[in-house]
Amino acid sequence: MRIEQHPILEFEKGEKIKFYLDGKEMIGFKGDTIASALYASGIYKLSESKKLRRPRGIFCAVGHCSSCLMIVDGIPNVRTCTTPLKEGMKIETQNQEVVLNE
Amino acid sequence: MNNIEKAELIVVGGGPAGLSAALAAADYGVNVILVEEREFLGGQLVKQTHRFFGSEKEYAGTRGIDISKFLVEKIKENENIKILTSSRVLGIYNDKIVTILANNKMIKYSPKALILATGASEKFLAFENNDLPGVFGAGAVQTLMNLYGVLPSKKILMVGSGNIGLIVSYQLLQAGVKVACIIEAAPRIGGYSVHASKLARMGVPILTSHTIKKAVGKDKVEGAIICQLDSSWREIKDTEQFIKCDAICLSVGLSPLTDLLKQANVKTSYVPELGGYIPLRDENMETSIKNLFVAGDVSGIEEATSAIIEGQIAGLNVAKRIKKDIDNQVKIEKKIAEAKDELELLRAGPVGEKVRNGLKKIGLDPLKNYGEKVSTEEFDISFLMKTGIPSKENLKKKLPLSEDVFNKGPIAISECFQQFPCDPCVKSCPFDAISENGSINNIPYVNFEKCTGCGICVSKCPGLAMFVVQKNYTDSTSLVTLPYEFLPKPVKNQIVLVLNREGTEICEGTVKRVRDGKIQDKTTVVTIEIPKEYFLEARNIKVDGGQKHG
Amino acid sequence: MKNRASVVVIGGGVVGNSIAYNLAKRGVEDVVLVERSFLASGATGRCGAGVRQQWGTRQNCLLARESMKVFENFKDTLNVNVDIELKQKGYLLLAYSNNELEQFKKNIKVQNSLGIPSKLVTPQEAKYIVPDLNTDKLIGGAFCPTDGHANPFKVTYGYSKAAENLGVEINKFTEVNEIKTEKGKIIGVQTNKGFIETSKVVDAAGGWSQQIAKMVNAELPVYSERHEILVTEPIKPVLDPMLMSFSYNIYCQQTPDGSFIMGYGPDNEPPSFDMHSSWQFLETMSKKAVWLLPPLNKLRIIRQWAGLYNMSPDKQPIVSKIKEVENFYVACGFSGHGFMIAPAIGVLMADIITESDLTYNVVLDIERYKRGEIISEPSVV
Amino acid sequence: MDENKVIICRCEDVTLAEIRNLIKQGFTTVEEIKRLVRSGMGPCQGKTCGLLIAREIAEITNTSIEKIEIQNMRPPYGGVTFEEVIAGDTIEE
């Protein structure tokens, strides 16, 4: 969910950005990071931890922890909380099977 | 392997400390490369919607977001500063080469000096399911809602009552999130009392001596189990309580982000008063490695205002070392001395004690040059620091001694009971009616003789602790003027619910005046007419038609 | 800490722990090991973690094969419940010249004679074993399927636990300040935590072996040299064997957790105790790695570090007693391959100290240099 | 409290139970624990777990936390791909 009105801040929604999560089409806005766009769309689980398979979501949102790592356009371990969202990005939920694509 | 670029100064980190360090050095002609990991400058300031405390000289009374805009503009105008955003310092090697990842390339610099202003990272807490989606650091919550306009939750549990926990709780309310409660493991609220009071009058419970045991939920937080702690911080049996919420916000402190310093083998020491492992440094902010300076939270956790001044000190010292002509030397020396005085002033009061103790541990004397006397006057604020609600005795000390004073018309009441460095109320009064008895660290008092009840201070106080009352508005009613920072804004003649300092509804009131101009800068000043019996109770309002979110 | 010991072993790396364990196994009582920092904090914990049997001399092949037997049966042999994360997916050695290939052929003969199952491979076969391999300029290679990788911390920890089980006292964070002698005989070791009376000392201090030897006025013919290494973030397994080339100068392997570890032998590195990482290494290593395995291009390097190779004149270990001081023993000069032969070295040192016949027919004594009996091993990075 | 469900190192999925077990076995430095269970070896390099582990060590060994060393930090901070390293080296060649 997005904040529509705020007593102090003004949020100007940028233009719509289309992207894909595990093949499904999603919408974010210019200015979003991958994680903020996903969270606003109700996606809270971003990855699964490698040994214990625990669900993980956004934790620090400043690129310090490893909670929000996902596969973005084939590149694994991308910190989605600090990576700006771009048109057509293909995002995949990351689990232990991280593969290297060229 | 030879494409190493030369540089005079590299500043790492584009937050308040880094920005002011870059500016301070660049003003004397030093060529600065400012490196920031994110795609924007401003650091944590860009999320700070509240007004800052401290001295007006260091932007007190101004919102963090606006301080950021101001500093960033100055940085962009300065042609001695090259800005590298979306760039990360990768390594500081033994041969003093600094590698930076910028535009998908690792580039190399050989700088004469380095200032690390890398800030802090949030501390984590060990409890069951502490990694469940929906468990956030306070910074993450702020980032989501204030930077990206994304609602982090509908109902949240706040863990930690330091200034960040309190400020973020208030910001959550402003964004339309319910705050189930704020829990604090210590027996006392950690942050400033004025922040706690803002939340208390919104009806948010603050539970001291409480901690979180467990996050509950399958794929996302659905609630939390909290419990009470005894005086030795041990769990009290059978005090478990389930709190229904869809997010948990951890605000349990910051620790300096010393990764690059450790990499460069700067000597560090564990100083709990300053947040953990901090670099050893001298009073000019230079570390154990020559020409490697630090500023801001990375050198020890403090407020943004101290970070700004530390940045200046570091930047000026680099300028002094690089620009060697006599004229500059004298000017720079003077500026360094001024900045140091300013910093000492900020740290001089009771809330600065922790920082002072921490600095002593690394061999610095934080009050060396400081002669000003801080008042020894003290309020017994134990109840206030447990609940956020001032005691009757506290209030009495800030009210006129004689009832007659109320007869003269509207007067300002300051509900500020704690000594900390802050002066916007004093500086904003056009009638010179508010005084701190010569020290920014003292508690402000209103001179009721001089006060006209104009209400300028109501929107200027960063703690929202200034009110104006006019007891005898009519025979049966009083006027109370208060700050209001929520939506929807009330309109004239509207009937609103009136709340007391505990957030309890006490009566209805009629809006008589709404001031929402440039001076108020979004802290709306609302005057309501209420039954006379409540003129010392009414401190908040509830306006129909709460905020909506899509 | 004990104040008397029959033998004091200085150095808590894999070699020191293996020696302590083997001494105790022979029934030597009151063995005490001292380590300045934590176990495996020096070269052991900083090494590339490869274990290979493909050597050019008979004695190196023998030591490696015997050590591999221990790695393969670690839990049973040492009677400890420690998983050393042994991965036996082979070592692929790459040849870029006919000379190199000829050498491999000679080596394989020696290896096969000792039962090491190595064989020559064509560039096509190499590509089959490592599909991502760039085979440009590749003439052929050698492959031994039973070579591989083990976790150096776990191996060291396993040895120390096994040693402790047999009564050895392991003292971490204990620094040796002085070795006291009287009339050319050792009388004890002074540490920062107290004095240990002893007549026998083993110097297994890795990069600092020569410093320890100086305490008894012995000059060892070894010096230390910085070697660097890096590790990447983990990804799904794509590289089975350790890749290695002597002429292209690289070693690279994917560990069981999925990260790549790699390094190369530096040119013109001066003798020193410097353990700082360098940006020069990062750059050279990156170019080498990406040329050899192009898909690594997009993989993220997350850490680089350095350690010390203790270099000997013939790049072969010195496992020996010394002439100058009675009952002072050295296990040093491993020149970068101490980890993979540590199990056998422990056995040898125990032979020497207990004055038994050598279990393995090898020449590693320090007098070999005077005799001119230099070991010439063609297969080192 | 179920120590197996308290996560200390997110990157490498290390639980409080594992950390406490190692400390009780005598591994009382952050560096040793890191080498045995990989805590702090993941992408974040110990930013969230380092302090928690130091605190556990202090508590269990009854040592003041001031005496406990935090983990070493190594370059490259935050990681860098091979491609990015090479790109920088060849710009002006």
ipTM of the predicted structure?
0.94
Interface of A to D at Cβ within 8 Å reads 49-52, 54, 56, 59-60, 63-67, 69, 77, 79
Contact D85 C304 (CB under 8 A): no
A66 close contact with C: CB closer than 8 A: no
Contact C298 D32 (CB under 8 A): no
Mean pLDDT over residues B31-39, rounded?
96
Distance from the Cα of B123 to chain A's closest Cα (Å) equals 10
Q: What does the H/E/C string look like for B394-455?
A: HHHHHCCCCHHHHHHCCEEEECCCCCCCECHHHHHCCCCCEECCCCCCCCCEECCCCCCCCC
Contact B106 D77 (CB under 8 A): no
For residue A14, report the phi and psi dihedrals to the nearest 5 degrees: -75, -175
Q: Among C274, C276, C283, whose Cβ lies nearest the Cβ of B1?
A: C283
Give CA–CA dist D7/B218, Å, rounded.
Answer: 16
Looking at the 3D structure of chain A, how many domains does it have? 1
Mean pLDDT over residues C284-313, rounded?
96
Mean pLDDT over residues B181-203, rounded?
97
Contact A100 C295 (CB under 8 A): yes
Contact residues on chain B for A56, CB-CB shorter than 8 A: 131, 133
Chain A segment 61-100 residues within 8 A of B by beta carbon are 61-64, 67, 81-82, 84
Contact residues on chain A for B151, CB-CB shorter than 8 A: 1-3, 40
pLDDT of residue B372: 56
Q: Among D68, D73, D93, whose Cβ lies nearest the Cβ of B262?
A: D73
* Cα nearest neighbour of C300 on chain D: D81
Contact C279 B94 (CB under 8 A): no
pLDDT of residue D92: 43
Report whether B504 contacts B203 (CB < 8 A).
Answer: yes
User: DSSP letter at B48?
Assistant: -
Q: Which of these three, B252, B281, B307, is where a domain ends?
A: B252
Q: Which of these three, B206, B234, B252, is where a domain ends?
A: B252
pLDDT of residue A101: 47
Residue A77 lies in a domain: yes
Mean pLDDT over residues C36-53, rounded?
96
For residue B537 the two structure tokens come to: 């109770």
Are B260 and B226 contained in the same domain? no
pLDDT of residue B549: 43
**Higher pLDDT pick, B148 / B369:** B148
Residue A33 lies in a domain: yes
| Banded pLDDT at B8 (limits 50, 70, 90) | very high
* Cα nearest neighbour of C276 on chain B: B94
Contact residues on chain D for B211, CB-CB shorter than 8 A: none
Residue A72 lies in a domain: yes
Q: Where are the domains of chain C?
A: 7-47+153-222+314-371, 87-147+226-309
Return the number of other C-beta atoms located less than 10 Å from residue B284's C-beta: 15
| Banded pLDDT at C92 (limits 50, 70, 90) | very high
Contact D13 A59 (CB under 8 A): no
Q: Among C236, C294, C298, whose Cβ lies nearest the Cβ of A75?
A: C298
Contact A51 D12 (CB under 8 A): yes
For residue B315 the two structure tokens come to: 């930047």
For Cα atoms D25, C46, C376, give the angle at the middle one, nearest 5 degrees. Answer: 130
Give CA–CA dist C235/A101, Å, rounded.
Answer: 11
**D76 prior amide bond cis, ω within 30:** yes
N- to C-terminal Cα separation, chain D: 60
Domain of residue A82 covers 16-92
User: DSSP letter at C244?
Assistant: E
Residue B547 lies in a domain: no
Asked whether residue B546 carries a pLDDT value surpassing 60, the answer given is no
| Banded pLDDT at C11 (limits 50, 70, 90) | very high
pLDDT of residue B368: 67
C270 close contact with B: CB closer than 8 A: no
Mutate to test the interface with C, among D36, D68, D80, D82 (most CBs of C within 10 A): D82
Mean pLDDT over residues B416-429, rounded?
92
Contact B176 A64 (CB under 8 A): no
**Residue-wise pLDDT tens digits, C20-31:** 999 999 999 999
| Banded pLDDT at D93 (limits 50, 70, 90) | very low
Contact residues on chain D for A69, CB-CB shorter than 8 A: 43
* Cα nearest neighbour of C284 on chain D: D86
Contact A100 C258 (CB under 8 A): no
C296 close contact with D: CB closer than 8 A: yes
Are B14 and B112 contained in the same domain? yes
Residue B375 lies in a domain: no
Residue B109 lies in a domain: yes
**Residue-wise pLDDT tens digits, B92-110:** 999 999 999 999 999 999 9
Q: Give percent of chain B above pLDDT 90.
A: 88
D70 close contact with B: CB closer than 8 A: yes
- A99 vs A96, C222, C296, CA distance in Å? 9, 44, 11
Asked whether residue C321 carries a pLDDT value surpassing 70, the answer given is yes
Calculate the average pLDDT of chain B.
94
Residue A10 lies in a domain: no
Contact A102 C258 (CB under 8 A): no
Domain of residue B324 covers 4-119+255-361
pLDDT of residue C380: 75
Mean pLDDT over residues B449-465, rounded?
96
pLDDT of residue B548: 42
Contact B134 A2 (CB under 8 A): no
Give CA–CA dist D38/D9, Å, rounded.
Answer: 9
Mean pLDDT over residues C237-242, rounded?
94
- What fold is seen in the domain C87-147+226-309? D-Amino Acid Oxidase; Chain A, domain 2 (3.30.9)
Mean pLDDT over residues B77-84, rounded?
98
Calculate the average pLDDT of chain C.
96
Distance from the Cα of D68 to chain B's closest Cα (Å) equals 8
C302 close contact with B: CB closer than 8 A: no
Mean pLDDT over residues B334-358, rounded?
90
* Cα nearest neighbour of A62 on chain B: B140
Mutate to test the interface with C, among A50, A77, A97 (most CBs of C within 10 A): A77
Contact C283 D74 (CB under 8 A): no
Asked whether residue B511 carries a pLDDT value surpassing 80, the answer given is yes
Contact residues on chain A for C258, CB-CB shorter than 8 A: 98
Chain D segment 15-54 residues within 8 A of A by beta carbon are 15, 42-44, 47-48
Range name among A76-85, B74-83, B470-479 with the lowest pLDDT average? A76-85
Residue A99 lies in a domain: no
| Banded pLDDT at C236 (limits 50, 70, 90) | confident
Are B509 and B408 contained in the same domain? yes
Are B108 and B144 contained in the same domain? no
Contact A102 C298 (CB under 8 A): yes
CATH of C7-47+153-222+314-371, one of 3.40.630.30, 3.40.1390.20, 3.40.1410.10, 3.50.50.60: 3.50.50.60
Contact residues on chain C for D92, CB-CB shorter than 8 A: none
Residue B370 lies in a domain: no
Give CA–CA dist C282/D75, Å, rounded.
Answer: 10
Distance from the Cα of C302 to chain B's closest Cα (Å) equals 10
B206: CATH: 3.50.50.60
Return the number of other C-beta atoms located less than 10 Å from residue B379's C-beta: 18
Contact B140 A5 (CB under 8 A): no
Return the number of other C-beta atoms located less than 10 Å from residue C368's C-beta: 17
Give CA–CA dist D9/B137, Å, rounded.
Answer: 15
Asked whether residue D70 carries a pLDDT value surpassing 90, the answer given is no
Distance from the Cα of A72 to chain D's closest Cα (Å) equals 15
C223-232 and D7-9 as β-strands: parallel, antiparallel, unpaired? unpaired
Residue B549 lies in a domain: no
Distance from the Cα of D3 to chain C's closest Cα (Å) equals 23
Contact D82 C296 (CB under 8 A): yes
Helix segments in D16-72, DSSP class H: 16-24, 30-37, 50-61
Asked whether residue B377 carries a pLDDT value surpassing 80, the answer given is no
Mean pLDDT over residues B5-27, rounded?
97
Report whether C227 contacts C263 (CB < 8 A).
Answer: yes
A51 close contact with C: CB closer than 8 A: no
Contact residues on chain B for C278, CB-CB shorter than 8 A: 93-95
Asked whether residue B165 carries a pLDDT value surpassing 50, the answer given is yes
C1 close contact with D: CB closer than 8 A: no
Domains along chain D with CATH numbers:
3-89 (1.10.10.1100)
Asked whether residue C142 carries a pLDDT value surpassing 70, the answer given is yes
Looking at the 3D structure of chain B, how many domains does it have? 3
**Residue-wise pLDDT tens digits, A22-53:** 999 999 999 999 999 999 999 999 999 888 99
Mean pLDDT over residues C162-169, rounded?
98
Residue B548 lies in a domain: no
* Cα nearest neighbour of B1 on chain C: C280
Burial B237-275 (b: 16+ CB within 10 A, else e): eeeeeebebbbbbbbbbbbbbbbbbbbbebebebbebbb
Mean pLDDT over residues B313-317, rounded?
98
Contact residues on chain B for C274, CB-CB shorter than 8 A: 94
pLDDT of residue B60: 86
Asked whether residue B488 carries a pLDDT value surpassing 50, the answer given is yes
